[in-house]
Structure 1
Amino acid sequence: MGDQPHRLPGGGEAVGAMAGAAAVLVCGLIEDQTQPWLGSPAWRVLFWLVVLGTAAAVALIRRAPAVSLALAWLIPICQVLAGTAFLFTQIAVLAVAFGVARWGGRLTLWVSGLSIPAGSAVAVILLQAHGVRINLPVASWQLIAGAVHGLGIGWRIGVALVFMALLGAPWLAGVALRTADRARAELDHAARERARAEETARIRDAQTRLARDVHDVVGHSLAVILAQAESGQYLPDDDPAALKSALATIATSARTSLREVRDVLSATRDPADDLDKLIDNVRTGGHEVVSGQDGTPLSLGEQGQVAAYRVLQEMLTNAIRHGRRDSPVIVRRSWVDDALVIQVRNAAGGGAEGTGSGLDGMRERLAAVGGTLDTGRREDVFVATARIPAAP
């Protein structure tokens, strides 16, 4: 809760404070040349000490508001003790009132706010007790006197109110800008936090998609490799050509899997992978696949194409892993209305085909593009149906 200045980025305000200090010096020079009572060297020295002190108070309102406020109090006190007149140049105290309200720490802000009524009360007391001389132009005196008289509440209260109005207006303006700066900073902070949360969610989503893609690629390839390896057990011992063909198929599937994993990790895979090629790879692995397509193809968009490929890949993997090898896998692709419907049927084996992370991954992938997945067992046939909407 210390009295730390309220800092804002940029140096525009500091430059403005220095320009204000320079303006105070110029006003002091003009006042020096136009006031006959400054003929004495001693008075002139005191005069310039006041001008320089006032200029320093204005110059420090951005970098050291508390020091600026202290000078705004110290200089008039010294003037009263020395018996010198208050200067027209000291109108710059209005800039000090504005600056300490906008950039001062919390303690400085409260002290400056209390200084306005306190300073006004001190001014009334000094005017009544000592007749303090204020070096203002005649027109300024007439304006102030007219304002005080117009209030009709006595010169003491009138002077106090005029002083508080003069000092309070810039102080309130500083408070208003200070509040706006703080609100803007809070909004910026909230925006940064929201952007950080969105980036974290995006990274996690990308990690989830990457894990799902690797699962789909490796799971599919291992299912093909396992099926081919198991079929090799039933090859006749005197048929090395068939054994070599099975080994070549295993090697091709492994090579394809490695290439797809590299593509997934480097995010360079072509989203328009050929679904027919995917089905042919399963046939090459020794599984009978009956495939058909009807309807007029539509554009699925990049995300929809990737979803269609990965979902069909996972469907075929499940069919190979859990289905019966003595029955064909039936794949049907239908373009209906504004979507692609992929249905995979296989004779159900003894495994639990309707559960597992593979199906959950398919549902999540389809949901991301607005699609759906239905799975179920109809007597001895397991059916999985995916719907991928066409691109708008």
Structure 2
Amino acid sequence: MALAGRQIIVAGAGIGGLAAALALRQRGAEVTVLELAEAIREVGAGLQISPNGLRVIEALGQSAALSARASKARAVVLRDHRAGREVLRLDLGKLPEGQGYLFAHRADLVELLADAARAAGVQIQLGQAITQITPGTPPEATLVNGDKRSADLIIGADGLHSVLRGALNGAAPASFTGQVAWRALIPNDFGHPPEVTVHMGPGRHLVSYPLRNGTLVNIVAAEERKGWTPEGWAHEDDPANLRAAFSGFGGSVPQMLSRVDKVGLWGLFRHPVARRWYGEGCALLGDAAHPTLPFLAQGANMALEDGWTLARCLDESADQPQALARYQQLRRDRCARIVAAATGNAWKYHLSNPLVRRAAHLGLAAAGRIAPDRILRQFDWIYGHDVTA
């Protein structure tokens, strides 16, 4: 066990950081997680845990705990915006055997990973703001109060505005996509089925699916706009603005939006995938390495894959630089491909020309009738990937 006794600091107690911490601890490392927040609160909203991410949850021994809090996904359904007419249904029950798909609240996944990490002996220290990470032998993290922490390895799982990413790659300006998104949670008192539903309209679309065993519904609604919105999902907006933006939508959309009493709004930005994922005594994972747009629901799944792969590479080689190089080799191209696919996905839902939209929807409907399995197989390269094999 190459990791036995290795001192490792993880910056960030998000999904990727906690998954990595647990996987490293299970292999014998001494792990400390430094988290900016004063408490692990119920933040964020819904996540789609697709088969590739769920395999990591299973390998970490947390599948039963997550299933008890999550909703099992039955299908992905695309609908036209006007009356909610079904265009295409992808039956997730036809995924290959062993490929599960869950809807989970982010807070539930973070909590269970944190509990499992603590139980395994990981030290999670809250209220620890890191202002600088300096690669080296050993690497060093500087806290806002001036304290310095060193270890054999420091992992930057510190998200979109990662301190370590900047140290390894320099500044990487983001570009506004011309899209914003709202996020809300509402009570499921109207019987939303266990499905991802995508209502597609001109210049906008709305996604909904149930959480917490069907008691809540997660809503993410994206709109094209020229105006710039500050990056981040914590900007509170007036629910009336969301309802106005989707006033032309029918089906179940008016019913859902009538229940929104609190909504967050954030601008969607493109960030390049980091060129360098590791340096002397340090490595990146999750959004710190490959921020992605939400149009393939793979952000959390990629972070889970990163955490497991990094732990595995470090465990398989006592040569840490070699292990980190192997980690980047295994992960970067795959993540870059997923990020690119997510970036290119939104336009498919936002067709503005009525004739083009109708033709596209008719084509999708025909494909769904003639070859539904073929449509589902287009995701094999994502869902069929198994970093735990």
Indicate the TM-score class for this superposition, using the shorter chain for normalisation: under 0.3
With a CA cutoff of 8 Å and minimum separation of 6, indicate the structure with the bigger relative contact order.
2
Higher alpha-carbon Rg: 1
Question: Greater share of helix residues, 1 or 2?
Answer: 1
Normalising by structure 2, we get a TM-score of 0.19
Question: Greater share of strand residues, 1 or 2?
Answer: 2
Normalising by structure 1, we get a TM-score of 0.19
